[in-house]
Amino acid sequence: MTLFTDYGITQELAIILLIDLSIAVALLTAMRYLQGWSIKVNSSDELAVRDNVAFGISTAGAVLALGIVLTGAITGAAAHDYLTEAMGMAAYGLFGLVLIKCGRWLHDKIALNELNKNEHVLKGNVSVALVDASAALATAIIIRAVLLWAEDLTLNTFIAIASAFAVSQLMLVLLTRLLERGYAGRNQGASMQQALCSGHTALAIRHSGHMLALALTFNAASHFIVFEPTAYLGNLLGWLLFSVIMLLALTLLLWLVKKLVLARINLADEVERQHNTGIAAVELAISIAVALILTGLMA
């Protein structure tokens, strides 16, 4: 123990770290199997027998999403006793898992209302799987930000987290509708969702970048909204107001930066009609880079 105490790691802290790690590993394992149970298939068969790449991407997104959420539950001061630490970690972790599943369900039913996501993933549609995984990651990034914003472990804390989560899902749906409208306008009324169904990977990559960028900018709101446990309406309106502002700012900045970085390139033609995944990957990188810079400035 002398080696550990020299670095400020006491026996109590080591046990708390072990508790948090054990719960995190158990939840990650549960998430992997939940992927199969939720759509009534054997996840081992899909991954290792059928070699379903789309199912693998979807599962990877879910597991990574939960890992991101768990960093929000772990970050912060340790509890005063082992039981409280275990209860807090388990409660936040399970709540995060439920919110991720709820977010994916809402995204499937509302944002991607023109397609059956599970059916396409089981058929090996990589484009739909990429969007599904990105939606899970975007939801997780938002949940992590809210977990770090909220304090204590009370009913009011979970209400505040649920309120911010509801706003985030509204913003993701709004973003999808705006992108769909733009796609239809540039392609004689064609459906973006139907393009994803047909395996439009470049479009999926671009859309993934937009969702992840929105999630990253959502973090900025946590720096401006003061957590008030009982201010239910104030918390909800605060997240909604800043989310709309950040969405508008992100949209304008992305339009400007893409015009400069990808000058003399017809993005609509390259990505939407020629299925240029290389250009789409650059667009994704620009979206995430601009979101990180914007969030850093707001912090």
Half-sphere exposure of 132 (CA within 13 A, CB side): 33
| Beta carbons within 10 angstroms of residue 77's beta carbon | 5
Report the distance separating Cα 172 and Cα 107, nearest Å: 8
- Which of the 8 DSSP states describes residue 226? P
Of 241 and 156, the structure prediction assigns the larger pLDDT to: 241
Report the distance separating Cα 252 and Cα 70, nearest Å: 32
Report pLDDT for 76. Answer: 54
**Per-chain mean pLDDT for the chain:** 86
Q: What is the DSSP string of 128-181?
A: HHHHHHHHHHHHHHHHHHHHHHS-SSSHHHHHHHHHHHHHHHHHHHHHHHHHHH
pLDDT tens string 110-150: 999 989 999 999 999 999 999 999 999 999 998 888 877 87
Predicted confidence (pLDDT) at residue 154 exceeds the cutoff of 80? no
pLDDT tens string 60-108: 999 999 999 888 777 555 556 778 778 878 887 888 888 888 888 899 9
Predicted confidence (pLDDT) at residue 181 exceeds the cutoff of 70? yes
Residue at 275: amino acid letter: H
Report pLDDT for 39. Answer: 81
| Beta carbons within 10 angstroms of residue 173's beta carbon | 16
Annotated domain spans of the chain: 2-298
pLDDT tens string 35-59: 888 788 888 888 888 899 999 999 9
Q: What value does the CA radius of gyration of the chain take, rounded to a whole number of Å?
A: 20
The pTM for the full model equals 0.88
Report the distance separating Cα 38 and Cα 279, nearest Å: 35
Instruction: Report the range out of 25-39, 94-108, 278-292 with the highest average pLDDT.
Output: 278-292
Report the distance separating Cα 7 and Cα 33, nearest Å: 38
Note whether 267 and 194 are within 8 A (CB). Answer: no
Note whether 54 and 123 are within 8 A (CB). Answer: yes
